[in-house]
Amino acid sequence: MACTSCSESIERALLMVDGVKKVVVGLALEEAKIHFDPTLIDSDQLIEAVEDAGFGADLISPGDNINKVHLKLEGINSPDDLNIIQSALG
C-alpha cells in the first residue's frame, strides 16, 4: 500500500461488504481495523474476500469484542490493486 488513495480505496471496498460498520486503514503500517456485525460476517470471511481478490490479509487481533477485527494487508501497490479488491468485496 503506497499512497493515501490506496488506503481510502481499501476503506471504501471493505465498507461495501454486508455487515461491515466501520473501517480504519493505517497507511504506514498497512493495517485495517474493522468493526462489523458478527451475525452477518466473520474475520475469516473478510480475510477470504481480500485473498480472493489476489492480496494477502492476516488476522492481527480479534479486538476487544467479537465485532472488531484487525487485519494486516499485503500486496497493495497501486489504486488498480484496490479496484480489484473493491470489485471482489462488492
Specify the length of the chain in residues: 90
- Convert the pLDDT of each residue in 36-59 to its tens digit: 888 898 888 888 777 766 667 888
Instruction: Please give the single-letter amino acid code of residue 32.
Output: A
State the pLDDT confidence band at 66, using cuts at 50, 70 and 90.
low
Give the chain's domains with CATH numbers: 4-89 (3.30.70.100)
The H or E element containing residue 88 is helix 79-89
Question: Is pLDDT of 71 > 60?
Answer: yes
| Listed residue (10, 89, 26, 20) closest to 53, CA to CA | 89
